[in-house]
Amino acid sequence: MPRDVRISVIGAGSASFSLGLVRDLCLTENFAHSTVCLMDIDEDRVSMVHSLASRYADEIGIGLTFEKTTDRRTALDGADFVSNTASVGAHGGGGFASIHNLRFFLSVARDMERSCPNAWLLQSGNPVFEGCTLMTRETSAKVVGLCHGHYEFHQMAEILGLAEQDITWQAVGFNHVIFLTQFLCNGEDAYPVLDEWIAEKAEEYWRSYQPEYWENQMSRAAIHQYKMIGLMPIGDTVRAGGWWYHADPERKRYWYGPLGGFDSKEGWTQYIAELEAERERMFETAADPSARVTEIFHPEKSDEQIVPIIDALANDVGGQFQVNIPNNGLIAGIPDNVAVEVPAVASKQGIQGIRVGRLPDNLMAQVMYPRLAEAERAIALAKQPTRGLLLNMMLYRHVGLHSGYWPPVASCAEAEREVDGLLERDAELAQLLENRAS
């Protein structure tokens, strides 16, 4: 018999994400009589999502129950599963805004220890890598980080002309820093197919392609990283790579195409505009009782992993997933208490990562160790912020794998001024430093 569960969504005001989750739940028969508690500090948004979710379930004809609240502890009380997509800093959790997101993530995990100690936390809000590492180190919460960046492999396969059913692949590392460690087609190494495409078709592709802002998988930057490291980067890995891809708009366009990629001014503007347009559409639909929600969110399951993982853990509908969990020997040479992104099997027994073994020394030296050091600085800053650590991050931001979106500082004096400006803009961070000093 399927188990009725209580699922709490933190940051439910993100309408597109929340309704995507609701759709997948409504289309999964095992959750027909479960309860979803939608929580967001923005009462207007959570009320809008609650209205749309309830109407969606009615249109599908499933008995899911929906609740709403602006109080986090109310949402967490008695939860079996918690999905956290909330962000408290700048959208996306990047840069120094991640300090606040990490502190927020930790507070959620600590609340779960009190309110729902046996629940699983499915962490989708960024930064997933640092967040999962911090929460599993500091709390007893059962945390699994999820991301859909690995799906960009499908774009790579399509461009190379490979049939999905013929391919066996594996991409592992840290979240947003994953590399194709296994790439087989009909049981044979498929990297030569990629090499042939680079030699014979890549330049023509780059001259003529007009990618969407998020289409980076086969960009010049991706292939350059592959040549440097020896393994193909997958998904959001391509977006970062290093400051040399992001030093100025012209170089962004060279490496990522005419728009300059996701992290260009043009790309980011399009992304935010799409989010705003989607939010407006949701509010309009919620205000129109005659509108059918299923015509906006068509009743077709997405390829997101959240609901299938909940189904696996609650109802033993086993499956293999791409997850972020504590390493515990899954990747050799990485500390056990660091969250790694690996394939894993989920069932009623929990989540068991698949042991990957040792990654190539070149990948470890060029990418994994530097990225881990960058993450450890962010975690340390979130736990015990000091001006010295802030200054250190400001000085090193132009060499970090995920710090290439800002120009480097020219001197220590300039970095000091940047820190002063940051503290003037960020009163909460300034207060944390003052409290620490006192």
Domain count, the chain: 3
Q: Do 161 and 110 share a domain, yes or no?
A: no
- Pick from 114, 238, 124: which is nearest to 173 by CA? 238
Catalytically active residues, by annotation: 148, 236
Element at 319 (helix H, strand E):
strand 319-326
Q: What's the confidence (pLDDT) of residue 92?
A: 46
Residue with tokens 């391509």: 238
Residue 97 falls inside a structural domain: yes
Count the Cβ atoms, other than its own, within 10 Å of residue 113. 13
Q: Which amino acid is at 58?
A: D
Q: Do 118 and 31 share a domain, yes or no?
A: yes
- Maximum Cα interatomic distance, the chain, rounded to a whole number of Å: 65
Residue with tokens 């640092």: 130
Give CA 19 to chain center in angstroms.
18
Q: Do 198 and 238 share a domain, yes or no?
A: yes
Q: Do 129 and 238 share a domain, yes or no?
A: no
Residue 413 falls inside a structural domain: yes
Q: Do 21 and 35 share a domain, yes or no?
A: yes
Q: What's the confidence (pLDDT) of residue 96?
A: 72
Q: Whole-angstrom distance between the N-terminal and C-terminal Cα of the chain?
A: 57
Tokens at 103, concatenated: 């502190």
Write the CA distances from 18 to 36, 56, 387, integer angstroms. Answer: 10, 12, 37
- Pick from 102, 110, 89: which is nearest to 134 by CA? 102
**What is the phi/psi pair of residue 400, to 5°?**
-75, 150
Q: Do 234 and 294 share a domain, yes or no?
A: no
Q: Do 75 and 185 share a domain, yes or no?
A: no
Burial letters 67-104, b for 16+ CB under 10 A, else e: ebbbebeebbbebbbbbbbbbbbeebbbbbbbbbbbbb
Residue 272 falls inside a structural domain: no
Contact 92, 19 (CB under 8 A): no
Per-residue pLDDT of the chain (438 residues; tens, 9 = 90+): 788 999 999 999 987 889 999 999 999 999 999 999 999 999 999 999 999 999 999 999 999 999 999 999 999 999 999 999 998 865 544 467 688 999 999 999 999 999 999 999 999 999 999 999 999 999 999 999 999 999 999 999 999 999 999 999 999 999 999 999 999 999 999 999 999 999 999 999 999 989 888 899 999 999 999 999 999 999 999 998 888 898 888 999 999 999 999 988 899 899 999 989 999 999 999 999 999 999 988 999 999 999 999 999 999 998 999 999 999 999 999 999 999 999 999 999 999 999 999 999 999 999 999 999 999 999 999 999 899 999 988 888 765 555 445 667 889 999 999 999 999 999 989 998 888 776
Residue 126 falls inside a structural domain: yes
DSSP string, 62-84: ---EEEEES-HHHHHTT-SEEEE
Q: Which amino acid is at 285?
A: T
Tokens at 190, concatenated: 């498929």
Q: Do 35 and 142 share a domain, yes or no?
A: yes
Residue 109 falls inside a structural domain: yes
Count the Cβ atoms, other than its own, within 10 Å of residue 191. 16
Residue 398 falls inside a structural domain: yes
Which residues does 32 contact at the CB level (< 8 Å), separation at least 6? 2, 62, 63, 64
Q: Do 155 and 226 share a domain, yes or no?
A: yes
Q: Which amino acid is at 83?
A: S
The secondary structure of residue 253, as a DSSP letter, is: H
Residue 386 falls inside a structural domain: yes
Q: Do 156 and 251 share a domain, yes or no?
A: yes
With the C-alpha atoms ordered 202, 207, 212, 216, is the resulting torsion angle positive or negative? Answer: positive
**3-class secondary structure per residue, 102-128:** HHHHHHHHHHHHHHCCCCEEEECCCCH
Q: Do 33 and 119 share a domain, yes or no?
A: yes
Hey, is 168 helix, strand or coil?
strand
Q: Do 141 and 38 share a domain, yes or no?
A: yes
DSSP string, 406-435: SPPPSSHHHHHHHHHHHHHH-HHHHHHHHH
CATH at residue 303: 3.40.50.720
Domain range for 94: 6-147+290-312
Residue 123 falls inside a structural domain: yes
CA distance 127 to 87: 9
